Chains A and B, each alone.
Chain A
Amino acid sequence: MNDARTQPEGGEPAEPVQEPALSVEPEPVTDDLARLWRPLKVGEPLPLFEPKPPSGLSYRPDTVCDGWSTKELHLRLASVRGYQHRADGSPREDDVAAAWDRRTGTVVFAVADGVSAAEQPHIGSQLACRSAVETMLAQVREGDGFVADWDHLLKTVRWQLVEQTRRILRHSEAGAEQTARLLATTLVAGTATPAEGEVRIQLVSIGDSGAWQIKRENFFQVVGGKMAGADGLVSCAVDPLPFISGVIRPTSFPLEQGTVLLVGTDGFGDPLGDGAGEVATLFRARLRQPVPPLGLAHLLDFSRETFDDDRTLVVLWLRTETPGGRP
């Protein structure tokens, strides 16, 4: 159940996780798995129904999840197909990828949300995540754990999208407009670099995917997200890849003890809203400590009416004395 790229660079982790998992004892066998895995209800839930298979030529799983821990960090990620896409037989348009540089201990990650109006948004988001992670990893190796040129990173992702468009359309002159019609996608890409006694986070965001921190029991938005218009209505403006307006500078900050970093698409950001509602309460309570990857996917698949978009989340916790969760 995993198509995300999460293999640590260079094979086995340098320092394998030694701690016991959070779920020390496996649960007794239950006869009612359907009940055990029912979506968590938040407020008024969506109707229950059997999902349709996704359309498209290539295999596209409904749900992906993954997780591992480095010496300094616990990482968990999940991407779930939205209820609307399950109902109408569309593939999951979100994607996610993460990787690790063994020498510096840097974790790199990306989430992307293919724009529904594009013809192949799931290809756009997958390509954006994978090329972003590969490019970040290459720069991290050369740059002592840091991405030195974020502009180059974004241009590389854009180039990959345009090249893929040219291959799909068999049109060697296809440019940004054709790419946008075929593969438009948002992107948040970032690194978590252990250095000088801290873990430094760097993030860039294109479009309305975003990043948040849970700090002192409150959500704080770090980058991205939807902005309300001047009249307080929800703004529909999305400026996705392959368009890059100006030079994008990374947001940089240390990940503090007791703080959880969440990087996700608007399928998570919209129901989270201002961080004061029931969805925020649920995630604050459940993510105080690392959860098993399957648990994150289940949590992210919560059911609340009108919120039926694909949802994707990467979550990072600083490694402390608290043992990290494994499934």
Chain B
Amino acid sequence: MVESNRGHLLPIYVLADESGSMMNHIDDLNDGLRSLHQALLGEPMAAAKVRLSVLGFSDDVIERVHLVDLRSANEFPLLRTRGMTSYAAAFEDLITRIPVDIAGLKAEGYQVHRPAVFFLTDGVPNMGEDWYDARRRLTDRTLTLGAPNIIACGISDADAEIISQVATQPEFGFVANEGVDVGPAIAKFCTALTKSVIASGRSLTSASPQLVVDKPENFTLAIDVI
């Protein structure tokens, strides 16, 4: 019989835009994720409490990494640019993915905290696409088991108002400051992601476990840009 209390885990999903417009910057993002991996190897206690998935989205979603324990992970598979920018496809994927993942972790005997999604895009969603309903169902705690917190970061052509609508709290939506180059912005996003993962992992078994979100340098709260 599997023990019901092997540990506490925070599932984290990096949901990254792989659309064609990311072509010149996807290497920066892959480099950033490698840095995150290296940083977590130096924080084994925080890393033990996190399971990381990396998902690339464009017209659909491709799972690059599935709920990996970063202490034992090898090289990350690379994100690759392709297709358009369908937010709806991304959110629909999470609606089916997250409940299955949570059930799997619980079946392994873990106590699971509310998942966190770090959403990164460089553009606006496909013209005419209704992604709002998928986003609403994904974050409705009465509809989706493990409805996640979404931290949304927009770079380049991303729209501050849309980023603000993707994030589940006003303080979880960020856009890169005007004039900031995309490459450095992605690097700052990955640095903030790493800090957030480590701080959330450290916090997980404290008296006040919380999702810690570190604002990327040279980003502004999307709500302040609208």
Contacts and interface: CB of A to CB of B under 8 A. Distances in A.
Interface of A: 43, 46-47, 82-84, 87-88, 93, 113-117, 121, 184, 186, 207-208, 230-234, 236, 238, 240, 265-267, 270-274, 276-279, 304-309
- Pick the most buried of A93, A236, A277: most chain B CB atoms within 10 A of its CB: A236
A117 B146 CA distance: 24
Contact of A277 (B4, B102, B112, B210): B4
Interface of B (DSSP majority class): loop
Contacts of B4: 273-274, 276-277
Interface in B192-226: 202-210
Contact of A233 (B5, B114, B210): B114
Given A117-B208, A238-B208, A273-B5, 12 more contacts: A84-B205, A115-B208, A231-B146, A233-B102, A266-B207, A271-B5, A274-B4, A274-B5, A276-B3, A306-B8, A306-B9, A307-B7
B69 to A, nearest CB: 10
A83 B202 CA distance: 10
Nearest to B113: A234
B207 A238 contact: yes
By Cβ-Cβ distance, the 4 closest A-B pairs, closest first, are A273-B5, A306-B7, A116-B206, A309-B205
B180 interface: no
Given A234-B113, A274-B5, A277-B3, A84 B202 contact: yes
A92 to B, nearest CB: 12
Interface stretch (B41-49, B126-134, B157-165): B41-49
Contacts of B45: 46-47, 83-84, 87, 305, 308
24 contacts: A84-B205, A84-B206, A114-B207, A115-B206, A116-B206, A116-B207, A117-B210, A231-B141, A231-B147, A232-B102, A232-B106, A233-B114, A234-B209, A236-B210, A238-B207, A266-B205, A266-B207, A270-B8, A273-B4, A306-B7, A307-B7, A307-B205, A308-B205, A309-B207
Interface of B: 3-9, 44-46, 48-49, 102, 106, 111-114, 141, 145-147, 202-210
User: Counting chain B CB atoms within 10 Å of each CB, which of A208, A233, A279 scores highest?
Assistant: A233
B48 to A, nearest CB: 5
Contacts of A113: 207
B207 A278 contact: no
A62 B41 CA distance: 26
Nearest to A228: B111
Contacts of A116: 203, 206-208
Given A47-B45, A305-B7, A233 B205 contact: no
Given A93-B207, A277-B5, A306 B112 contact: no
- Central interface residue in B6, B9, B145, B202, by most chain A CB within 10 Å: B6
Contacts of A265: 207
B3 A278 contact: yes
A305 B210 contact: no
Contacts of B49: 306
A234 B44 contact: no
A47 to B, nearest CB: 5
A279 B109 CA distance: 14
Nearest to A232: B106
B11 to A, nearest CB: 10
Nearest to A278: B3
Residue from B5, B44, B102 whose CB has the most chain A CB atoms within 10 Å? B5
